Amino acid sequence: MMQRAAFLSVEKSLLGQAWLPRLDARGEALAEQMRQNGVASSVVARILAGRGVTAETAATFLSPTIRALLPNPQTFTAMDAAAGRIAQAIHAGERIGIFGDYDVDGAASSALIARYLRHFGLDAEIYIPDRIFEGYGPNVEAMRTLAARASLIITVDCGTNSATPIAAARAAGADVVVLDHHQQAGGLPDGTPVVNPNREDDMSGQGHLCAAGVVFVTLVAVSALLRKQGRQPPDLMELLDLVALATIADVVPLVGVNRAFVTRGLAVARGGGKAGLQALANAARINEPLTPYHLGYMVGPRINAGGRIGDAALGARLLVTDDAGEALAIAAKLDELNTERQAIEARMLEEALAEAEAEMARGDGPPVIIAANDSWHPGVAGILAARLKERFHRPAFAVAFNPSGIGTGSGRSITGFDLGRLVRQAVDAGLIIKGGGHAMAAGLTVEKNALGALRSWMDEHAAKAVAKLSADRALTIDAALSAEAATPELHAEIERAGPYGTGNPSPMFVLPFHTVRALRWVGNGHLKLTLAAQTGATIEAMLFRADTSPLGEALVEAGSSRLHIAGSLSRNFWQGRERIELRVVDAVLA
């Protein structure tokens, strides 16, 4: 990757990375072919070519549909048994319990099933565990409680690695169906259908789905069975706003059917959608049509706030209700909890950064950062890990210890490093009590006196892979752009190749030879800039969380120097007027 000539000859930016053109010679030729054949405009053709799209596959990519991209449910291991048991429960009018995770994916998955069952007059009980007192996934006591009130329990976004609690539920008289997407660690629950594209014997090739995506595919199979029985299922397309929310918030790759989930789900949300989503959008002061950015950075964090520092069930309740008044009340509470979470996070982040800076001061620093503290709130550990990963560009964990010396930690990874696998290996090595996750995010439970050994073990097992990823680190550029060219029309063209996110990154543009005309701090540590081209044309730009980024400090010091500045374009509505802004990600002195 590093052999390609640097874009604008930038071999080391203010963030210490090279800038590389996304397109090689073959990609340039492919983009030109699509442009000449009228498949796409010049800028969209470059974006498509940079993502491996050809002239033959461009139409499907630009207009992703559920019909064309939905996988056959029968390709999932255990789908027949799972869908059959759910259809049987619906046909017989059984009492059904739903056990979900406390994050956005768990809340959306729980609401998805609950709304589906409501169509048949079944009022399912949703159980969301408390993050601090119960932890992730099913526990024996909770499963026994549900089993006393339901003949079928469906676990969503959890359950794959919960053999003992599921055995307890079955012993108490309930059947269990697992709908999950987390990586398998050990044996699966006995006598239980586990639909999970990431189980070791699944050949569906759909490991990129979030839990809500797995639930949706399962409900497609359930609907087919019910139609054969003469029952009319609900319109699943009207539930896709929940799947889109979970897909974005769980940061799964926007490839395959995930792109159709988000595209169609956003259309449902913009057309009215669920009362809870609309109430939360209002609470977040979103005054424009919902985008993936809104779901990932404004709606999602507010739902997560309930699970982090408040009532973990609030998110699911919000997404299930059709009562506008109840939705407004829950949304207001989640917004309040999110503000509280931000205050807690700010204090913890200062401490975490100080600890990590001390670690990084010794040579190249550890390949995996592990910051820990006795006074941290475990519900905010995942956010801390994400901030540390962003700041130091390597996998990171934040661990909160309780008075008994047991630490609950969350980790976030960098592209190319499978953090879930590393955690499972640590479990096998006896270094942590339990742990699991997937490539980009993982959780663990560790004793305080084992933390030193865990750090040393991770240093040894991750050093080579992280060092290679760091050496190859680069920002991939789609094209150069000037301030005057950043128009709403151009942005509309770019959006044709969306939705953007993990697996389909937002196109990255460089504004060459631009000067910072004005600069000011706004919000909670963000930097607002006015950039001027050599022609005098200007564009507004934003560097988020600039107060904890070396780039923020560098831009302040650069003053009115001429810069090449890199970022993605976004649309901003203000007082009824649309304006295109640049979300800054890197820069270099020109």
Q: What would the DSSP string read from start to end of 440-482?
A: SEEEEEEEGGGHHHHHHHHHHHHHHHHHHHHHT-EEEE-EE--
Contact 412, 382 (CB under 8 A): yes
Contact 241, 271 (CB under 8 A): no
| pTM (2 d.p.) | 0.88
- 330-356 per-position pLDDT tens digit: 999 999 999 999 999 999 999 999 999
Burial 312-347 (b: 16+ CB within 10 A, else e): bbbbbbbbbbeeeebbbebbebbbebbeebeebbee
Residue 409, beta-bridge partner list = 399, 444
Amino acid residing at 507: P
Contact 67, 97 (CB under 8 A): no
Q: What is the pLDDT of residue 575?
A: 67
At 187, list the tokens: 């044996």
Q: What is the pLDDT of residue 4?
A: 67
- Tell me, which fold does domain 362-473 have in CATH? Diaminopimelate Epimerase; Chain A, domain 1 (3.10.310)
Q: CATH 3.10.310.30 occupies which residues in the chain? A: 362-473
C-alpha distances in angstroms, 33 versus 36, 40, 52?
5, 10, 14
Q: Is 68-336 CATH 3.90.1640.30? A: yes
Q: What is the pLDDT of residue 316?
A: 97
CA 9, CA 21: separation in Å to the nearest integer? 10
Q: What is the pLDDT of residue 172?
A: 98
- Beta strands 562-574 and 577-589: pairing type? antiparallel
At 237, list the tokens: 């397309």
Give me the DSSP letters along 550-575. HHHHHHHHHTT-EEEEEEEEEEEEET
Q: What is the pLDDT of residue 3?
A: 55
Q: CATH 3.90.1640.30 occupies which residues in the chain? A: 68-336
At 371, list the tokens: 């910051």
* Ranges of the chain with pLDDT below 70: 1-4, 575-576
Q: CATH 2.40.50.460 occupies which residues in the chain? A: 7-24+478-589
Q: What is the pLDDT of residue 440?
A: 87
CATH architecture of structural domain 7-24+478-589: Beta Barrel (2.40)
The distance from CA 148 to its chain's CA centroid, rounded to whole angstroms, is: 35
What residues contact 220, with CB distance under 8 A and at least 6 apart?
70, 73, 236
- 527-572 per-position pLDDT tens digit: 999 999 999 999 999 999 898 888 999 999 888 889 999 999 998 8
Q: What is the pLDDT of residue 1?
A: 39
- 449-500 per-position pLDDT tens digit: 999 999 999 999 999 999 999 888 899 999 999 999 999 999 999 999 999 9
CA 158, CA 150: separation in Å to the nearest integer? 18
